[in-house]
Amino acid sequence: MRKVRRTSAFFTQMAWGLRETTLPHDNYGHIFLGAWGPILAYGIGGGEVRMVIDVPADGEKGTKAIAERLRREYAPFVPEPLRRAMLRALDEAPPEMAANYAISTKRCVMPGVALVGESGGCSHPLTAAGMTVCLTDVRILVEELARGGAADDALARYQTRRYRFVRARELLADALYEVFRGAEDSTRAIRHGIFRYWEGGARARAKSMALLSGAESRLPAFLGEYWRVVLQSVGGVVRGQVNDPSLQGRLRSLRGLSSKAAEKLARVVDGVREGTLR
């Protein structure tokens, strides 16, 4: 059914619920950086906080070894009192574990059948795209079926509209995960540029939230925001605010930035071409 375009294992994902604790900011999702992978924490009701952590798929095996790594390498990057709750939860019971994948598809319909939500492809949960994509898929499918005509024609239109929306979500999730986890000069520079961009004004934050929420789904819009972040990143490198401030270090960072920007541009062009030809 699904024609898979890209499948990659990110990590083993650990998750558990933390009780008797609070988040730094109520009613907001949180991402803590500094460990091997990003740490997600968000309230799920009833005074409980759910924490989701990435650990390398090829790292330590067994719950005891993984728990020790979480205490040693991850807990220092979690603020109090959340850290105490995390360590207490590790002592009480092992977290849930599951492999996590990014799956991109080129087809999501066949005669009489349509895939919706993550059954048609999935991204890293960092951007919380799963629910947004699923609800949008349902809306688009209902709209196309309501137009009347042959059911298979409606499904074909659904597939075209779905991928024009989904591709920007996939690119955003892939780019943010790579930047937030990466340790090379280029990704550190882009991470610095993202924070400078968001700190620069409400307009930047609103544009980013529009992409994250699905209010903006055009790939050119994603590309425009990406280039604004790249320009902020270049400025940080040139001013010596990130990575090695020596001339050689700055040149190395700029080369890495150019390569990374070209890579993302190629993916956006591919997505635009695919959407145009549908």
The model's pLDDT over 107-164, given as tens digits with 9 standing for 90+, comes to: 999 999 999 998 998 888 888 888 889 999 999 999 999 998 899 999 999 999 999 8
Q: Dihedral through CA 40, CA 182, CA 253, CA 260, nearest 10? A: -100
Distances in Å between the Cα of 29 and the Cα atoms of 42, 51, 67, 127, 261 are 5, 10, 23, 10, 28
| Cα 267 from Cα 272, distance rounded (Å) | 9
Successive 10-residue mean pLDDT values, the chain, 278 residues: 46 72 87 88 86 78 82 93 91 79 88 93 83 92 93 94 87 84 85 91 91 82 85 90 89 88 78 62
pLDDT, position 272: 64
pLDDT, position 59: 66
| Cα 39 from Cα 102, distance rounded (Å) | 18
Q: Under a CB-based contact definition with an 8 Å cutoff, are residues 94 and 63 in contact?
A: yes
| Cα 258 from Cα 265, distance rounded (Å) | 10
Phi, psi of 78 (to 5 degrees): -105, 125
The CATH classification number of 4-100 equals 3.30.70
Q: Dihedral through CA 12, CA 13, CA 16, CA 17, nearest 10? A: 170
pLDDT, position 256: 87
| Cα 115 from Cα 94, distance rounded (Å) | 34
Q: Which two tokens stand for residue 256?
A: 């890495």
What is the distance in angstroms between the CA of the first residue and the CA of the last residue of the chain? 18
Helix (H, G, I), strand (E, B) or coil at 63: helix
pLDDT, position 79: 93
pLDDT, position 276: 56
pLDDT, position 104: 86
| Cα 153 from Cα 243, distance rounded (Å) | 53
pTM for this model (two decimals): 0.79
pLDDT, position 225: 87
Residue intervals of the chain classified under CATH 3.30.70 are 4-100
Q: In what order do the strands lie in the sheet with 39-45?
A: 30-32, 39-45, 48-55, 4-18, 96-105
Which residues touch 150 (CB under 8 Å, ≥6 apart)? none
User: How many of the other CB atoms lie within 10 Å of CB of 206?
Assistant: 11
